[in-house]
Amino acid sequence: MNPFWSRHVGTLTPYVPGEQPRIEQLIKLNTNENPYPPSPRVIAAITAQAGDGLRLYPDPQSSALKQALSSYYGVAPGEVFVGNGSDEVLAHAFHAFFVQDTPILMPTVSYSFYQVYCRLYGIEAVQVALDEAMRIDPDRYRRPCGGVVIANPNAPTGLALPLEEVERIVRAQPDRVVLVDEAYVDFGAETAISLVRAYPNLLVVQTFSKSRALAGLRVGFAIGQPHLIEGLERVKDSFNSYPLGRIEIAGAVAAIEDEDYFQRRRAQVIATREQLAGQLRRLRFEVLPSAANFLFVRHPEHRAADLAQALRERAILVRHFKSPEIETYLRISIGTDDECARLAAVLAAIIEG
Ligand SMILES: *Cc1c(COP(=O)(O)O)cnc(C)c1O
């Protein structure tokens, strides 16, 4: 280990993001980015911030954004927390709520960053198996624990848990925080924000990166009762008072205000997803029913790693995970209609020889 590092640093296992290579004409279906540009109103709002005002620190509370989110979701401004991407919001939530004497629960197949935060903050985790259909089974989350984190829709399966089943998990753990990461919820699942009033232990986290096409802006948020938000604010103000700059705040507010654009783009991604799912099934892929902006698929005769490599050689990137539960699957982000048509054509050529 490097002699300059704190002892803790040598024990970390950092998250490895999907690659962002510079290949000409690349079709990039590996990191679940939105294939469409952000709303033109976002670009205008960001551009308007690029001036003398940047001398000054931004509002440390991001009040304009909390206000916009609170009216959009029908909650109080004191029930909203914002951060530099939902990754930062999740990290603060792990720090604020999950450093407990008992391990937290998470699904065996889930967003792999959760385990990275556990190492970072010294949190123990128990991995809870999915059922035979790769679904989260709420009954397996009834045991004593230090907290629960699930993604809904789950990543990378894309499967959504109905709201009643999320509520069963929340109800089974009244003394622990249940964190529901809804990064993909806008593509077809039901948000648990409507349950926040009833459950003091529920924290819902969302992001502008996927459905609002703003992965490059870095804005995420959490909604929960004020006592949970206060816990997050305490961690945030012990770490970085200004996680969002003026540009981020203005861009995110404009994104929330352009509801029409949001609805059109989201419907487009869902329509393309369903079309691609049909094409892949015709190529004999098993396609899990997705409520997200990606498909999780496998083929009975072709190894996922081989398909990913063959696609890569034709300048199409998809994601393959090496962990044993899911190594037979590929995760394919939904692109434009043209990108998905090209993917389907290339896969047909590979599979039909
Ligand atoms: C993409 C993603 C995030 C992180 O989103 P950012 O807001 O860009 O940090 C969090 N959780 C899940 C499940 C994701 O897929």
Q: What is the CATH number of the domain that holds 295?
A: 3.90.1150.10
**70 and 45 in a common domain:** yes
**240 and 271 in a common domain:** no
Within-domain flag for 274: yes
**267 and 188 in a common domain:** no
Q: Among the three residues 211, 230, 258, which one is the final residue of a domain in this structure?
A: 258
Q: Is 295 exposed, middle or buried (0-12, 13-18, 19+ CB in 10 A)?
A: buried
Whether residue 121 contacts residue 99, with contact meaning beta carbons closer than 8 Å, is answered with yes
CB of 110 within 6 A of ligand 1: the answer is: no
CB of 155 within 6 A of ligand 1: the answer is: yes
**165 and 207 in a common domain:** yes
Looking at residue 25, its pLDDT comes to 84
Looking at residue 232, its pLDDT comes to 98
Ligand 1 centre to CA of 69 (Å) is 18
Chain segment 39-75, per-residue pLDDT in tens? 999 999 999 999 999 999 999 999 999 999 999 999 9
Question: Which residue range(s) make up the domain with 128?
Answer: 40-258
Within-domain flag for 8: no
Q: Which atom of ligand 1 is nearest to the CA of 32?
A: 1
CB of 251 within 6 A of ligand 1: the answer is: no
CB of 138 within 6 A of ligand 1: the answer is: no
Q: Which strands form 286-287's sheet, in the order they lie side by side?
A: 286-287, 294-298, 330-333
Q: Among the three residues 217, 242, 258, which one is the final residue of a domain in this structure?
A: 258
Q: Is 23 helix (H, G, I), strand (E, B) or coil?
A: coil
CB of 111 within 6 A of ligand 1: the answer is: yes
**222 and 145 in a common domain:** yes
CB of 215 within 6 A of ligand 1: the answer is: yes
Ligand 1 centre to CA of 209 (Å) is 7
Within-domain flag for 213: yes
Looking at residue 17, its pLDDT comes to 81
CB of 181 within 6 A of ligand 1: the answer is: yes
CB of 293 within 6 A of ligand 1: the answer is: no
CB of 220 within 6 A of ligand 1: the answer is: yes
Ligand 1 centre to CA of 163 (Å) is 20
CATH number at residue 171: 3.40.640.10
**207 and 73 in a common domain:** yes
**266 and 242 in a common domain:** no
Ligand 1 centre to CA of 23 (Å) is 24
Within-domain flag for 11: no
Ligand 1 centre to CA of 262 (Å) is 18
DSSP string, 105-127: EEESSS-THHHHHHHHHT--EEE
Looking at residue 143, its pLDDT comes to 96
Long-range Cβ contact pairs of 118-126 (< 8 A, separation 24 or more):
118/94, 119/11, 119/12, 119/13, 120/12, 120/91, 120/94, 121/94, 121/95, 123/94, 123/98, 123/99
Within-domain flag for 9: no
* β partners of residue 81: 222
**86 and 138 in a common domain:** yes
Distance CA 292, CA 235 (A): 30
**305 and 227 in a common domain:** no
Looking at residue 20, its pLDDT comes to 76
Which residues of the chain carry a pLDDT beneath 50?
Answer: none
* β partners of residue 333: 294
CB of 116 within 6 A of ligand 1: the answer is: no
**77 and 29 in a common domain:** no
The residue whose CA is least distant from atom 12 of ligand 1 is 183
**197 and 222 in a common domain:** yes
CB of 296 within 6 A of ligand 1: the answer is: no
Ligand 1 centre to CA of 87 (Å) is 6
Within-domain flag for 2: no
Q: Among the three residues 258, 275, 294, which one is the final residue of a domain in this structure?
A: 258
The residue whose CA is least distant from atom 15 of ligand 1 is 183
CB of 244 within 6 A of ligand 1: the answer is: no
Ligand 1 centre to CA of 210 (Å) is 8
The residue whose CA is least distant from atom 1 of ligand 1 is 183
Number of structural domains, the chain?
2
CB of 290 within 6 A of ligand 1: the answer is: no
**184 and 158 in a common domain:** yes
